[in-house]
Each structure stands twice: as C-alpha cells, then as structure tokens.
Structure 1
C-alpha cells in the first residue's frame, strides 16, 4: 500500500513583494502620523495630553498612544524619515515579525518612560520606537548570524549612529533622552529574544 503527500506549504514572498509590502506599510504608517497631527492641530492640540505621564495611573494609557502623537508638524517631520527608513528595513524581514517588534518596543519603551521620566512631564513622539528599530537592526544580524543582517546593522550604525547616540544624552531639556534610551534597550532586547535558531 502506497501513500502520497500533498505539499500544502505556502511559497515565500519574493524580494520584490516583500519590499513592496514593507514600503506600503511604512508609507501608510507615516501618513497616519501626519493625519493624526493634522487632527491635533485642528482641535487646538487636544490630543497632546494623551501622552505618557510618569508614575500616574492615567498616564499608562499614553504608552500605546504616545508613539502616534507629536508636538507640531516639525516634530512629525523630524521623525518621519528615520521611521520610514528603519521601519522599512525591519519590515523586509516579514510584516508579522515587524509588527511584533513594534508592539514589544512600544510596550517596553513606554513602561520605561513611565518609570524613569521626571515627574509632571509629558512624553509623546515616535522617537522611542525609532530608537527601538535602530537597536533591533543594529544587533539582529549578529544574533542570527546572517551576513546581510550584519551588513544592514553596520550601514544603519554608520549612517544614523552619531546622531542617535547624541540623543541618548541629556543635552536638551525638551527632548526625552529617557524615551531614546529605553527604546534602544527595548530594540536590542527584542532582537536577542526574537532571534531564530541557527540551522546546522
């Protein structure tokens, strides 16, 4: 008696399809940030208070909301390009993984900001997520032992490293270095936790 098996596996996306999906996702994400800021502007900045308020119970609701809120269009503009580039590079590894990375970074970064930021401060902006994606890309290739990932990490470090590491220092009182530091740590930790086992 013979048996046969049917291959039910779904073929992987081609590189072009992955790139197209990643580009659409990030363009839509950045467009959403601009739309939210337009609504905030039109309502007299009514959305700003929904950021992270350190060590206040109602400030916990700002953890998932803060990365989508900004203090004006200049703030959105400053975050748009790095979020677009780093998000695109991360999403090339798979949309599901990208969304999981973002959720983990947003949660860990937001909790860190809630715990260590100065009292009576209010933190909004996507920079914590940007630092998380930066940290993730920085070490992902090394922990997965993939040449392309290592190359991406080196390129990201070379292009963004200087400005990113300056953002970790308390040089500007209106910039949340706490969000940057917690985001970077969250991104590195996510890469370490989310690494795939190496095949022999």
Structure 2
C-alpha cells in the first residue's frame, strides 16, 4: 500500500506567506493607485493647477515639491510610463521585509527631490514618479552588492539588464524636457538607502 506523502510546509506557514503577499499587494496598489487618483483629479479639475506644486529649483516654496512631485504627472503617457516600473521594482523592493520598501521609497523621494531642487534649471518645475523608479532600481542593484545573497544578486542583474541603459541615459542631460536631475538623485537616494539599511536587508 502506498504511503501518503508528508508536506514540509505547515498550514500556518503557507497561510503566513499568503498573508504577506496580500499585504504587499494591498500596499503597492494603494501607493500606485494614489498617484492615479491625484492624476485623475488634476485632469477632471484643471483649475486646481496641482502641477504647480512640483519641485521649483532653489525657491523656498519649491521645497514642497520634494514630497508632492511623485504624485504629479504631465499627462496620461507620463504616469503610464512610470506605472510599470513602480509596480515591478516596487514589488521587488518589498522583500524580504515591507520596511525595505519604505526605506527605498524614502531614499528615492528625498534624493530625487533634493537633486532637482539643487540642480534644476531656474523657473522649471519638476514632477513625476520617475525619480522613484530610478530610486528602486538603484536600491535593488545596491542591495545585491551589499548583501551578496544569491537571490539579491540575481535581482540586481535583472535590473541592470532590463533598466541599465535607460537608467544611464535618463540620468544624463541629453533629453530636453526630461528631469535628469530627479533620475540621478533618485538613483543616488536608493543606493544610499540600501547602504544605510544593509543590515536589515539580510533575510
């Protein structure tokens, strides 16, 4: 008579993993969804002029854009282009801990905003979440370097092969109307966040 097989994963362990996935899906959906909500609000109520709250370099009022800019977009093409990177790279940044996602997000937002504020052209307005995307990419690559874990290294190689060229070109002042300052600052902020939190990155 064949003996029943025994699974090493207990129901509690499987349930815990499912709960972790659900929590991350909900968080990422809320984070990216909030950007879409603000975009739809700006489109339906253009008289609010929400995009004026972006980063305005070297002005006191422009400092507010460091926080608000990732939620502001110039058009449908702009937010759609950023959504894919936010979802994919943001999801990868959530492991092994959700706290890692917040570390990467904070580093990316602060790095992108400060760099745009310091290096941006006078009277320009910097908006969009592309700096956060660059921050996640920088964070994931740096995480592979600092942790030296097999999975982290594989993820870092995936990011470099998929986003490396676009990140390099996007961080250079070669495309008119593109905030290379935000891209450069976001990537630097992600790298710094990975370095500061390298102990917590180890599973």
Q: Shorter chain as normaliser: what TM range? A: 0.7 to 0.9
Q: Within the alignment, does 1:23 sit opposite 2:25 as a pair? A: yes
The yes-or-no answer on 1:179 pairing with 2:182 is: yes
Q: Partner of 1:196: helix, strand, or coil?
A: helix
Q: Number of aligned residue pairs: give it.
A: 189
Please report the TM-score for the alignment, with normalisation by the length of structure 1.
0.87
Indicate the residue corresponding to 1:6 in structure 2: none
Tell me the CA shift for residue 14 of structure 1: 4.3
Alignment of 1:144-163 (within 5 A): 144-163=147-166
Match of 2:36? 34
Could you tell me whether the CA contact under 8 Å between 1:18 and 1:94 is conserved in 2?
Answer: no
Cα deviation for residue 198 of structure 1 reads 9.7
Q: Which sits farther off after the overlay, 137-146 or 99-108?
A: 99-108
2:52 to 49, 57, 60: 49
Against the structure 1 CA distance between its residues 32 and 107, is the aligned structure 2 distance closer, same or farther, given a 3 Å change threshold? same
Is the aligned partner of 1:123 residue 2:126?
Answer: yes
Q: Is the 8 A contact 1:18 1:92 kept in 2?
A: no
| Equivalent of 2:86 in 83, 86, 92 | 83
Unaligned 5+ runs, structure 2: 1-12
Say if 1:123 and 1:198 are closer, same or farther in 2 by CA, change over 3 A. closer
CA gap of 1:162–1:108, structure 2 versus 1, over 3 A, is closer
Q: TM-score, normalised by structure 2?
A: 0.86
The answer (yes or no) to whether the contact 1:139–1:150 under 8 Å persists in 2 is no
In 2: Cα distance, 1:172 partner to 1:109 partner: 17
The ranges of structure 1 where at least 4 consecutive aligned residues each deviate by more than 3 angstroms after the TM superposition are: 13-17
In structure 1, runs of 5+ residues without a counterpart are 1-10
Tell me if structure 2 keeps the 8 A contact 1:22–1:92.
no
By how many angstroms is 1:15 displaced? 4.1
Distance 2:194 2:99 in 1: 14
Q: Cα distance, 1:139 vs. partner?
A: 1.5
Residue 131 of structure 2 contacts residue 182 of structure 2 at CA under 8 Å; is this kept in 1? yes
- 8 A Cα contact 1:113 1:182, kept in partner: yes
1:3 alignment counterpart: none
1:197 shift after superposition: 7.3
Look up the SS of the partner of 1:92 in the other structure.
Answer: coil
Q: Which has the higher helix share?
A: 2
Q: Alignment partner for residue 109 of structure 2, among 106, 110, 134?
A: 106
Deviations 1:8-43 (A, max 9, x none): xxx9x9444333322222122222111110100111
Cα-Cα RMSD: 2.1
